[in-house]
Structure 1
């Protein structure tokens, strides 16, 4: 930790500057902001990251240690490097056969301080001297803090939270890597908030919805109407059940028992939101109550016990967990409704909400561990868990950053909906975007927007809906009218479409693509809309990114890059590339039609061997968004 602190301080103590020496200024030290800087720095550009807090790294450094990704290998590039470095750390530190290496799950599961060290190493080795980081720099999302000339941002004004002084930073290109979309909104980029109705884009789970967990069905109260509701935020807690590293929470000063009282009946009756509980009768709930009151554990279908009743925990190395909201519960670490103003509020309001959420979260844990209305054996099970004492040592062992799942969704040249992540026909790919800058995969997934309501089977807004590995078009982070801005985090899409894009692996990949696009815009003296996405793709592929996913092809294959480019043009429509299988007649015809040259199948020649004949088709056309 001392080495990490010294490294971060060395990054922060850059010469204070108002100069135009920066090629790229990035607002937000999130993982996407970091990958954007790395991608630009490795191309020789001078980058500045402005971060409001005292630490960079966003949510992976603040408790989100169980990577949210549906298909491993679908997103690579700098994200893959991050994962591999995590695994490498545990191997070097503990040995290849250690429990820590096993629990890191190939680097996809990691402790918060390890994520911080990994990001630090990635920055340090990206482009020596090319990345400056200034922490405690606050950008306020107001038009007067952005100086523009016609359609270009010239400079931005930030508050130095250490000195109270205002500072100005100018650059050739800017990136909004905030979770809220603060810079884009201040620069005049239109944005969306809340939920679209189901009739607007014909999306599953759109609008007001009450759905049994995990995949429905929808139940009483569902209207699918749009509204201004924003999905809940929480803190991703790093908990442990190891006594030597466990810190039990203290009762917070603003504790309100009534906020948590409904948990008592849920524990006794076994009530939960799982589809398995759907057919539970009042008699069965009463029987569960009698069992629990007599000292037994719950036997209600779908029900959890102890800390798992109020927090979904994924194991991390060193007996720690990523403790998220419990989706099967009516009351957990999410705090719906109260966060709705966050996306467009100033930092004074956000800071008050962050403290309110912290107090609520600690109050919930204290209630579960101490309130005598709960069964003794339930409280004892909850007291097995506490905050990890060796994480966030300067913040009471509590995460420093709120999990902002969704803020403003800035409007780009492409608007991503659920239909971009769903198969066109059963078992097929979703629509393939020729301008793809990453493949990605996670379910359509949203947390609640309202607190508990009497008679509802779940909290309004909670859903998970299966998707397939999809492609993400460049246009989701490209504004229609600002020439030198990209926004890889507050991307363009509907509430449901955004609900799958909003995972850190996808954001990191989009950050890397944004950094590449910024370099190309500078070098070619063009707007972000006029950058050739073919050139973006070529650079990304050179660094091991995946633009379209194949089940049987990895980025170590010598023909990977060419197949990726051809697949985005329609040459490989299936999930498998089958490069070492003989070319069949149907594929030969498809390739002939797409390439404009005669490709024949003899039943012996492998598909891989034909690739050189297709390369000329891959070179056609330098495409932009215009």
Structure 2
């Protein structure tokens, strides 16, 4: 306990000290623009580009050093669904990656014609539409930096929102300004929260939800607790004991198993789907770094994985998805994998220090998992031998020990806005009002808990994968707070959606689409001297279509 408190204190100091130091050296600034965007995600960059293209001033206030969020943080095997509904600047992002991979020098570790060129069911390198849907992290980050340079974007990095009551000035339902921990103040006419966490939205007093709603709330089927529902194969297919001494409850539970009951089927809870790092790995001998034993490594925490192997499971490499240059976007797969199940429930509303601790815990868990697979005698020989071929790439995430700089925040806060996107909407069964973009990916939720069933064996819960009938439209009202709560804020990432509808919406191409639409609405609201909620949809629709956004089938 003392060590945990010390770690929390040190993390807090590491975040805050640079800010307090800068206040001593530099006078705090008041920085103004028509539109202030908080966040460094893909949605933030695209939104800023759109504001600039429409002739207004914009500032990105980014707590991150790197631009692009998950799109440049390891998620290179893009979750796209129907690619035809990806338009506007989002599509241009993937077109620029296509152009990058046309260059001979972009293929350092692999010949272009050796790359398999398949991903998510369609060509990764699509010559017909000149798009590249699968890519390396550093290539994606360069595209975002190119966007920033070409549009002369003003970006302040490592700027963390002051989440205290003094962090925002709000009058008559409008945000006038917010400040960061460094003491800088950002004033604007319109604000966009483009973070994965929704911190600016929360500080503005906008209502939101964390966790899973009961199915009864919105008349849904796949939202609440989903015990005994298995749709992706990320569950225990054989009877595995969760106890330290197999089948002996008195011996205590193994690590990574909850001692809490799963809850009643269909009920709501505060649990959220698991996070992980989307690891970029390399199997090129000249570009890989073997996994070192991480700090505090304890092989006992992976005993459950050893028992899965002993039961005959052999799907370790099924989500080592190939990206260019003999690398992977490695994602969770199976009953025990890179998802750190049940260890993120407090992340959405946690302090910065606690979030950093959670992020570090995820990193150590995954590094330990990789070390286990490469070195533990309980790992089957064929898996052990193949794992020896993989390591972290020397040419990715160079300033972070070759480890991804962004944890996959699959879900955090979700706004309760003017319109709530629900299961039926995301399944293409309804016609939503005033569309500002489209989605098409499956309702995709990862496991939220690992528990002991009444029969004494372990099981996972929360993994859902339901495909929509057809691509669906996303309502303008889902990126708008209720006007009574805030009348100059748009939220294109933590949008107004039920948990399970968000399982489809939460894809990076969609975040970029909604970022562009939010920026367009912000600028038009300024020009028409109205709140975004009172902006005539016809005006917004005209601009979105002109910019080649796809709004409906």
* Partner Cα separation in structure 2 for residue 539 and residue 449 of structure 1: 40
* Partner Cα separation in structure 2 for residue 536 and residue 215 of structure 1: 42
Shift of 1:222: 6.4
Counterparts in 2 of 1:215 and 1:314: CA distance versus 1, 3 Å: closer
Secondary structure of 2:101 counterpart: helix
* Partner Cα separation in structure 2 for residue 217 and residue 420 of structure 1: 28
> Conserved in 1, the CA contact under 8 Å of 2:426 and 2:439?
no
The answer to whether the aligner puts 1:466 opposite 2:508 as a matched pair is no
* Partner Cα separation in structure 2 for residue 372 and residue 349 of structure 1: 35
Q: Could you give the per-residue CA deviations for residues 146-184 of structure 1, whole angstroms, max 9, x where no partner exists?
A: 11111000110102xxxxx31111111110001011000
* Partner Cα separation in structure 1 for residue 422 and residue 163 of structure 2: 26
> Conserved in 1, the CA contact under 8 Å of 2:397 and 2:404?
yes
* Partner Cα separation in structure 1 for residue 398 and residue 336 of structure 2: 28
* Partner Cα separation in structure 2 for residue 348 and residue 62 of structure 1: 21
Shift of 1:434: 3.9
Counterparts in 2 of 1:408 and 1:97: CA distance versus 1, 3 Å: closer
2:213 is aligned to 196
* Partner Cα separation in structure 2 for residue 510 and residue 458 of structure 1: 36
Shift of 1:462: 0.9
> Conserved in 2, the CA contact under 8 Å of 1:215 and 1:464?
no
Greater relative contact order, per chain length (Cα 8 Å cut-off, separation 6+): 2
Q: Could you give the per-residue CA deviations for residues 78-98 of structure 1, whole angstroms, max 9, x where no partner exists?
A: 111001000111002459964
* Partner Cα separation in structure 2 for residue 169 and residue 194 of structure 1: 31
Which one of 107, 113, 135 corresponds to residue 110 of structure 1? 135
1:577 is aligned to none
2:144 is aligned to 119
> Conserved in 2, the CA contact under 8 Å of 1:70 and 1:441?
yes
* Partner Cα separation in structure 2 for residue 394 and residue 521 of structure 1: 40
> Conserved in 1, the CA contact under 8 Å of 2:234 and 2:335?
no
Q: Could you give the per-residue CA deviations for residues 512-545 of structure 1, whole angstroms, max 9, x where no partner exists?
A: 0011001001111111101122211211111111
Which one of 48, 57, 62 corresponds to residue 68 of structure 2? 57
Which of the pair has more CA radius of gyration?
1
The answer to whether the aligner puts 1:535 opposite 2:539 as a matched pair is yes
1:515 is aligned to 519
Q: Could you give the per-residue CA deviations for residues 333-384 of structure 1, whole angstroms, max 9, x where no partner exists?
A: 1112111000001110000111111111100000111011222332112222
2:160 is aligned to 138
Shift of 1:231: 1.0
Which one of 463, 473, 480 corresponds to residue 478 of structure 1? 480
Secondary structure of 2:322 counterpart: strand
* Structure 1 unaligned residues grouped into runs of 5+: 1-14, 160-164, 272-302, 424-429, 550-626
The answer to whether the aligner puts 1:92 opposite 2:103 as a matched pair is yes
Which one of 403, 406, 415 corresponds to residue 401 of structure 1? 406
Counterparts in 2 of 1:16 and 1:109: CA distance versus 1, 3 Å: farther
Secondary structure of 1:432 counterpart: coil
Q: How is 1:345-364 mapped onto 2 (pairs within 5 angstroms)?
A: 345-364=350-369
> Conserved in 2, the CA contact under 8 Å of 1:331 and 1:452?
no
Q: Could you give the per-residue CA deviations for residues 528-571 of structure 1, whole angstroms, max 9, x where no partner exists?
A: 1011222112111111111113xxxxxxxxxxxxxxxxxxxxxx
* Partner Cα separation in structure 2 for residue 434 and residue 201 of structure 1: 17
Which one of 185, 193, 213 corresponds to residue 231 of structure 2? 213
The answer to whether the aligner puts 1:319 opposite 2:344 as a matched pair is no
* Structure 2 unaligned residues grouped into runs of 5+: 1-25, 119-123, 127-131, 238-261
The answer to whether the aligner puts 1:229 opposite 2:246 as a matched pair is no
Counterparts in 2 of 1:26 and 1:213: CA distance versus 1, 3 Å: same
The answer to whether the aligner puts 1:158 opposite 2:183 as a matched pair is no
> Conserved in 2, the CA contact under 8 Å of 1:209 and 1:218?
no
> Conserved in 2, the CA contact under 8 Å of 1:342 and 1:349?
yes
Q: Could you give the per-residue CA deviations for residues 202-253 of structure 1, whole angstroms, max 9, x where no partner exists?
A: 2222211132233999999861111111111110000121111111110111
Structure 1 stretches of 4+ moved >4 Å: 94-97, 215-222, 454-458
1:253 is aligned to 295
* Partner Cα separation in structure 1 for residue 144 and residue 230 of structure 2: 38
* Partner Cα separation in structure 2 for residue 375 and residue 351 of structure 1: 34
* Partner Cα separation in structure 1 for residue 235 and residue 389 of structure 2: 35
Q: CA RMSD in A?
A: 2.3
Which one of 336, 345, 348 corresponds to residue 343 of structure 1? 348
Counterparts in 2 of 1:266 and 1:222: CA distance versus 1, 3 Å: farther
Counterparts in 2 of 1:92 and 1:268: CA distance versus 1, 3 Å: same
* Partner Cα separation in structure 2 for residue 370 and residue 500 of structure 1: 37
Secondary structure of 2:399 counterpart: coil
Q: How is 1:305-316 mapped onto 2 (pairs within 5 angstroms)?
A: 305=316, 307-308=317-318, 312-316=319-323
Secondary structure of 2:461 counterpart: coil
Counterparts in 2 of 1:238 and 1:218: CA distance versus 1, 3 Å: closer
Q: What is the total number of aligned residue pairs between the two structures?
A: 484
Shift of 1:259: 1.6
Which one of 367, 375, 380 corresponds to residue 375 of structure 1? 380
* Partner Cα separation in structure 2 for residue 183 and residue 370 of structure 1: 44
Q: Could you give the per-residue CA deviations for residues 474-505 of structure 1, whole angstroms, max 9, x where no partner exists?
A: 01010112111000000001111111111111
Which one of 73, 78, 86 corresponds to residue 67 of structure 1? 78
Counterparts in 2 of 1:206 and 1:457: CA distance versus 1, 3 Å: farther
1:602 is aligned to none
TM-score (norm 2): 0.83
1:621 is aligned to none
2:529 is aligned to 525
Q: How is 1:383-422 mapped onto 2 (pairs within 5 angstroms)?
A: 383-422=388-427
2:56 is aligned to 45
The answer to whether the aligner puts 1:489 opposite 2:531 as a matched pair is no
2:5 is aligned to none
2:17 is aligned to none
Q: Could you give the per-residue CA deviations for residues 419-469 of structure 1, whole angstroms, max 9, x where no partner exists?
A: 10224xxxxxx3222410112111001011113535668511111111121
Q: How is 1:442-461 mapped onto 2 (pairs within 5 angstroms)?
A: 442-453=441-452, 458-461=459-462
> Conserved in 2, the CA contact under 8 Å of 1:18 and 1:170?
no
Shift of 1:139: 1.1
